[in-house]
Structure 1
Amino acid sequence: MTESRPHALFCFGTLLDPRVQTALFGRTVPTEAATLAGHATRPLAVAGDSVTAAGGRDVRPTLARKLGATVEGGVLRLSDRELAAADDHEIDDHVRRRVTLASGETAWAHLDARPLRAAARIVIVGDSIAYGRCDPEGGWAGQFATAHIAADEHAHRVFNLAVPGSTLADVGEQTPALLPPRHPDTIVVAAGINDSAVPLAASDTGIDGLRDITGPLDALLATARRHHARLVVLGPLWLDESCTGDFEGLRFTAARALELRAALRTWCAEHHVDHLDLWEPLRDRPELFVDGLHPGTEGHKELYRYLSAHHC
């Protein structure tokens, strides 16, 4: 039987304990000392976790981004079966994501399942919905920025670089040059509905943003990894097709938006990237939209409430 290719997993806690390794993997695993830059540890309150319950504790340390900090730990080389066992060992509030070690090696690590809760310096890129069009209060992004910075004014930053009308291809081209001075640990790509638009002009019928969204997403993921940042893909929103009509020479339909949603979910699942699905919060609530596409003030408040409850 062919052995699976070893997976590098960065650990700093119980998975480095030989007794835990033996219980999980049926063997002790050689540990290679490793350092994870740009991270620190912080306590995470947990509920219903068998490992912490056995120790009589209701908190467990987790990784969090922190500029200039490091976490000392080790790398385990695991088979497919062992990696799955390590996933099962972790609490429900953790997910496995890619990180870059101080050595330059890419490895798996278990991070907070709520990506915005774990973030400090956040860059938001996207289209007019992320920009906050139709809401003089700055949209969901403005509300999120206010709360995020207020939680830790010294360390927290939010940079909203969204540009109305942008597609994923536009975002992929524009973003790399904007990141260096902002030192992001999290990049939120607000994938709206521009990639699902169908041009009404006969001469533009060959233009289809849904034909290949994987190229821009692959480029954005590579950009995030170069900055040791966590990529988070957000959207799209439900739309009221009865009100969209001919919108600036484009047609937007629910069917195309759902196709975009499915493509984003599939790509994120295949690449272990966080996808924050914003379809349901405004679904079948046309009164929260200004023109069928853009939420108004109350719509953006609903989006912010949803993000706060599920991802922050």
Structure 2
Amino acid sequence: MSDSRPHHLFSFGTLRDPKVQKTLFGHEVPSSPASLAGHTTRTLKITDPDVIAASGLDVHLILERKLGSVVEGAVLHLTDEELAAADDYEVDDYARRRVVLASGESAWAYLDAKPLRPAARIVIVGDSIAYGRCDPEGGWAARLAASHIAENESANRLFNLAIPGTTLVAVSEQTPALLPPRLPDTLLLAAGINDSAVPLATPDTDGLSDILHGLDALSTTAHAHNARLVVLGPIWLDEERTGDYEGLRFTLDRALTLRETLRTWCTDHHVDFVDMWEPLRDRPDLLVDGIHPTPEGHQALYEHLAG
């Protein structure tokens, strides 16, 4: 065995099969029974011939959120090399993310690679763009709420807790108290443009320096509720029209820095990142004031997020 650190991986499907383990790892791996609350499973058609050859099946299972349900499985105890082999085995429909087992133990699990597809109870936190400012219909978040609830009115919920003018640091401080009564399984963080703004009164202030602390705090908060954190990157802005906005200065350079900071943190922490930049890129006609989308702009953002 390797001397690398141990990893705990919750398996509810073919990775528990001794035949699959011998194919991937060269031997059976230590495991123990475990269960994952708040989830159910659905079938997934597999087309990768190597995965089919290893498992002997062309239909695998994938997790979905369902309040009150439990998925039974096992925790596999893996080395670095074995975890990497498991990653290679799972097809692109899966993404490895952190979950909290019924025992309270934290473990890896392979979830749906499209984070909103398995969601049932979604909480949105963010700023005025997530709030829906400049759109009487409530912005992209209201459109997402309508389509999400229509899929399953009895089980699906969406709570938009976005606050105009807020920052990621403020959101990280306010969110813990807001989540318990809403029983979220997905925390959608719209990390808005305010986090990249330069205050005109204190131009040397670097708000970007606090972002990593806010992300760490929100990740901890989401994990405490066994909710999946999904980070939305900033939207494109029209710097020629933003000017000095309510005591703040917005620039493309700072927004792009925020975008890459978020993307890098999400990659390093195995957290979902959804890039919201491209739908409005070089489309000043979809922005009211260079920052806030028009109703058509919100529709474009919704289609990108829901696609």
What range describes the TM-score normalised by the shorter chain of this pair? over 0.9
Contact 1:242/1:292, CA 8 A, preserved across alignment: yes
**Which residue type is aligned with residue 66 of structure 1?**
K
- Distance in 2 between residues matched to 1:49 and 1:123, nearest whole Å: 38
- Distance in 2 between residues matched to 1:56 and 1:126, nearest whole Å: 42
Shift of 1:2: 6.3
Write the mapping of 1:10-89 to structure 2, written as runs, cut at 5 A.
Answer: 10-48=10-48, 50-52=50-52, 55=56, 57=58, 59-89=59-89
Contact 2:2/2:79, CA 8 A, preserved across alignment: no
- Distance in 2 between residues matched to 1:68 and 1:226, nearest whole Å: 17
Verify: 1:151 aligned to 2:167, yes or no: no
Q: Secondary structure at the match of 1:82?
A: helix
Shift of 1:173: 0.9
Write the mapping of 1:93-112 to structure 2, written as runs, cut at 5 A.
Answer: 93-112=93-112
Verify: 1:259 aligned to 2:247, yes or no: no
- Distance in 2 between residues matched to 1:255 and 1:18, nearest whole Å: 52
Shift of 1:39: 1.0
Q: 1:167 matched to which residue of 2?
A: 167
Shift of 1:76: 0.8
Q: 2:276 matched to which residue of 1?
A: 278
Shift of 1:241: 0.2
Aligned length: 306
- Distance in 1 between residues matched to 2:23 and 2:2, nearest whole Å: 23
Q: Secondary structure at the match of 1:210?
A: helix
User: Measured at CA, do residues 49 and 302 of structure 1 come closer, stay the same or move farther in structure 2, by a change above 3 Å?
Assistant: farther
Give % identity: 67
Shift of 1:209: 1.3
Q: Secondary structure at the match of 1:29?
A: coil
Q: Normalising by the residue count of structure 1, what TM-score does the alignment of the two structures yield? A: 0.95
Residue from 234, 237, 242 that aligns with 1:236 = 234
Contact 2:9/2:75, CA 8 A, preserved across alignment: yes
Q: Secondary structure at the match of 1:136?
A: coil
Contact 2:14/2:60, CA 8 A, preserved across alignment: no
Contact 2:121/2:185, CA 8 A, preserved across alignment: yes
Verify: 1:305 aligned to 2:303, yes or no: yes
**Which residue type is aligned with residue 196 of structure 2?**
S
Q: 1:141 matched to which residue of 2?
A: 141
Q: Secondary structure at the match of 2:9?
A: strand
Give CA-to-partner distance per residue, 1:190-226, whole Å, 9 cap, x none.
Answer: 001101001112xx23432101211111110110011
Q: Secondary structure at the match of 1:213?
A: helix
**Which residue type is aligned with residue 169 of structure 1?**
V
Unaligned runs of 5+ in 2: none
Shift of 1:165: 0.3
Contact 1:176/1:223, CA 8 A, preserved across alignment: yes
- Distance in 2 between residues matched to 1:79 and 1:235, nearest whole Å: 33
Contact 2:189/2:232, CA 8 A, preserved across alignment: yes
